[in-house]
Amino acid sequence: MTTSPAPFTCRHCGACCGPAPCSAAELDQVVQWAAAHDVVPRAQGLDCPFLALATPTESAACRVYPVRPSVCRLMGQLPGLGCRFHGDRGTLSARAARRARKELRRSRPVTTLHSLVYSDAELGALLRGDPDVRTQRTITEAAPRPGQAAAVD
pLDDT above 50: residue 143: no
Between CA 118 and CA 128 the distance in angstroms is 14
Between CA 150 and CA 5 the distance in angstroms is 47
Q: What is the pLDDT of residues 45-54, one digit of tens each?
A: 888 999 998 7
Between CA 128 and CA 32 the distance in angstroms is 31
DSSP strand E in 108-148: where? 111-112
Between CA 44 and CA 103 the distance in angstroms is 29
Q: Say if pTM beats, i.e. exceeds, 0.75.
A: no
pLDDT of residue 15: 81
Between CA 102 and CA 58 the distance in angstroms is 35
If we measure between CA atoms, which residue out of 63, 67, 74, 70 comes closest to residue 10? 74
112 pLDDT tier (thresholds 50, 70, 90): confident
- Kindly list the distances between the CA atom of residue 34 and the CA atoms of 41, 42, 71, 130, in Å, as whole numbers in the listed order: 8, 12, 18, 29
- Of 1-5, 43-47, 60-64, 88-92, least confident by mean pLDDT is 1-5
